[in-house]
Amino acid sequence: MKGRTRAGAIFLAALWTAVPAWVLAMDPRHGETDQGKTGGAMESLGERIFLGKAGPWEAEARLIDMKTQLEKEGVSAGAIAKLAAKHHLMVILTDPKTRRPAVDAVGEVTITGPDRSSSSKVPLIVMGEHIGSDVSLPKPGEYRFHVTVEGRGGKGSASFSYRLKR
Q: By the criterion CB under 5 A, which residues form the site for Cu ion?
A: 127, 132
Gyration radius of the chain's alpha carbons:
15
Angle (CA) 140-141-143 rounded to 5° is 115
Contacts of 24 (CB under 8 A, 6+ apart): 16, 30, 34, 38
Q: Measured from the CB of residue 117, what is the shortest distance to Cu ion in angstroms?
A: 28
Of 7 and 116, nearer to Cu ion (C-beta) is 7
Q: Measured from the CB of residue 90, what is the shortest distance to Cu ion in angstroms?
A: 5
DSSP secondary structure code for residue 101 in this structure: B
Q: Residue 112 in 3-state DSSP?
A: strand
- Residue number of the CB closest to Cu ion reads 132
Q: Measured from the CB of residue 108, what is the shortest distance to Cu ion in angstroms?
A: 14
Q: Judge contact between 122 and 90, C-beta under 8 A.
A: no
Q: Measured from the CB of residue 88, what is the shortest distance to Cu ion in angstroms?
A: 6
> How many angstroms separate the first and last alpha carbons of the chain?
25
Of 70 and 127, nearer to Cu ion (C-beta) is 127
Of 20 and 140, nearer to Cu ion (C-beta) is 20
Q: Residue 136: exposed, middle, or buried by beta-carbon count in 10 A (0-12, 13-18, 19+)?
A: middle
Give the Cα separation of 67 and 101 in Å (integer).
27
Q: Measured from the CB of residue 164, what is the shortest distance to Cu ion in angstroms?
A: 19
Of 85 and 164, nearer to Cu ion (C-beta) is 85
Of 55 and 132, nearer to Cu ion (C-beta) is 132
